[in-house]
Amino acid sequence: MLKLSVIVPFYNVRPHVPDALRSLRANARDDFEFILVDDCSTDGTAELLAAAERDLPGAVLVRHEHNGGLATARNTGIDRARGQYLTFLDGDDWLAPGHYARLVAVIEELGCDFVRTDHVQCTARARTVHRVPHGRRNVPLRPRDAILPAHRSTSVDYAYAWAGIYHRRLVERGLLHFTDGLRTAEDRPWIWRLHREADSFAVTGLLGVFYRRGLSSSLTQIGDDRQLDFIRAFDQVVEETARDPEAAALLPKAVRTYCAIIAHHLGNLDRFEPPVARRLRTMSAAALHRLPQDVLDGALDAMDAGRATRLRRLRRRPVSAVEGAA
């Protein structure tokens, strides 16, 4: 068995592909494979990946017949992976040389299901270190113990799939796949499921992933209807958490996070296309009605006045059966 499978989806990121591929080459090892998933790029990305399949040691190129989005592309890579460990990289990001060898050494030393790492965020020329919001490091822990408290940023709020490494047994247990077709917030149900159901994890300060932020091509910068998938993603988080044996303790965190994301989008309506902004308000109102109302009351009481007022106003909006379908 190969030691590590690296899953790298690409979709119309041609200007950044050379950086990603160079960094993969600087991480190549005989027992590593790089699964390059072309999600129907139309900008020349596909041609660069075809060359990489020939020239990059360990490269495996997979092409989608139809664009499926990031979650589906990652699932394609997971299904093709042969490594004992798996990790992810986005096609517009890059790595420090030798990062993956160090990451494998950490998870093998700790012997846990998955390890989460810090990363470097790159916005234009600015570089900022972002750390996993968990204090204990380099020691195996129980993942569900890192979900709470509800009022603070915790490990489930640090949802970047590429900031870590994952043992193959998570695939075999059905915990590593993403929700097919989610076009944004695909990491949220995924990270919550890992923390609820995996047996062990650890956090390490290893830096090696460089994350490009603020790209005009990034979905986070585009105000079309793909952004609305965050509602489907958080509905899934709440629904699955509600079935957990410790739901009473965990649901306030899930609901509070959902509310914070809704409030964030409502506060940035001007970046959405007008029809999408209207759908966002309608779908968000329906989402608030679907939440357990006693838990929602507690979440709103704990929020700052500005966001709580915005959400309470939206909550009072009547929602028809048609509008309520997310």
Q: What is the pLDDT of residues 71-103, one digit of tens each?
A: 999 999 999 999 999 999 999 999 999 999 999
The pLDDT of residue 107 is above 60: yes
Distance between CA atoms of residues 302 and 316, nearest Å: 19
Residue ranges per structural domain of the chain? 2-219, 223-315
Q: For position 322, what pLDDT does the model report?
A: 43
Say if residue 15 is preceded by a cis peptide, omega within 30 of 0.
no
Give the strand order in the sheet containing 59-63: 59-63, 32-38, 2-10, 83-88, 164-167, 114-117, 201-204
What would the two tokens of residue 289 be? 């009605």
Nearest in space to 176 (alpha carbons), one of 27, 61, 7, 39 = 7
The answer to whether the CB of 34 falls within 8 A of the CB of 24 is yes
Nearest in space to 195 (alpha carbons), one of 236, 152, 150, 148 = 148
Distance between CA atoms of residues 207 and 299, nearest Å: 34
pLDDT tens-place string over residues 263-321: 999 999 998 999 999 999 999 999 999 999 999 999 999 999 999 999 999 999 887 64
Angle at 291 between CA 229 and CA 181, to 5 degrees: 20
**What are residue 211's DSSP bridge partners?**
121
Q: What are the backbone angles phi and psi of residue 262, rounded to the nearest 5°?
A: -60, -45
The helix (run of H) or strand (run of E) holding residue 2 is strand 2-10
Reported pTM: 0.93
- Asked if the 2-219 domain carries CATH number 3.90.550.10, the reply is yes
The conformation of residue 150, written as its DSSP 8-state character, comes to T
Average pLDDT, the chain: 94
Pairing mode, strands 164-167 and 126-130: unpaired
What would the two tokens of residue 139 be? 């020691």
